[in-house]
Amino acid sequence: MIRLSRMTDYGVVVMSQLHQQPGMMTAPELAQTTGLPAPTVSKLLKQLAKAGVLDSHRGVNGGYTLSRELEDVTAMEIIEALDGPVALTACVEGADDACNVESLCPMKGGWDKVNAAVRNALCEVTLADLCPTQDYPAMEPQITKKTATRGRA
C-alpha cells in the first residue's frame, strides 16, 4: 500500500488553516485552531518554510504565511518537504536507499515508469485541490418524534 505519512496529512491541514485565516499566524495559534500538538505544528512550519512553501516572519508580530497562492503549491512539494523524495522502491531514480541486488535484479529500471507516473500525478494536484474552499451550510436540526412531541403540553 502506498501511504503518505501523518506529518504530510497534518502539513496540508496547517497550510489549509493558514489560507483560511487572513494575515500571519503563529505556531501556537495554528496548534489551537487545528487541534494538533504544538510541537508537531512547530516542526511542520519549520520544514515547510525551509522548503519555500511558507514564509516565516520573525519578531514580536511575526508568524507564518503561505508563500504562494494555493494553485501554485503542488502536493509533490508538500510531500517532499515533509517526507523526502517520492520513490516507490529502493531502485528507482530519486530513492534515498540503495538496493543491494540492483546489479542482479531482472526488474532493474522496471519501476521507473510507475514511479514517474506517481510523481507526475502528484505534481498535477495543487493545494487548492486539497483544500475545501466552499462554505458548507449549517446543518438544520433534525426533527424527530421525540423533539416534535416535547413542545406539546
**CA separation for the pair 97, 49 (Å, rounded):** 26
pLDDT, mean of residues 115-129: 92
Can you read off the three cell numbers belonging to residue 111? 519501476
Q: Does domain 6-130 have CATH number 3.40.950.10?
A: no
> Is the per-residue pLDDT at 147 higher than 80?
no
* Helices and strands (H, E) in the chain, number of each type: 7, 2
Residues present in the chain in total:
153
List, for residues 17-56, the tens digit of each pLDDT value: 999 887 899 999 999 999 999 999 999 999 999 999 999 9
pLDDT, mean of residues 131-142: 51
pLDDT at position 82 is 94
**What letter would DSSP give residue 134?**
S
> Is the per-residue pLDDT at 12 higher than 70?
yes
pTM of the model: 0.75
pLDDT interval class at 136 (50, 70, 90): very low
List, for residues 68-111, the tens digit of each pLDDT value: 998 999 999 999 999 988 877 766 665 556 666 666 666 666 77
**CA separation for the pair 40, 7 (Å, rounded):** 8
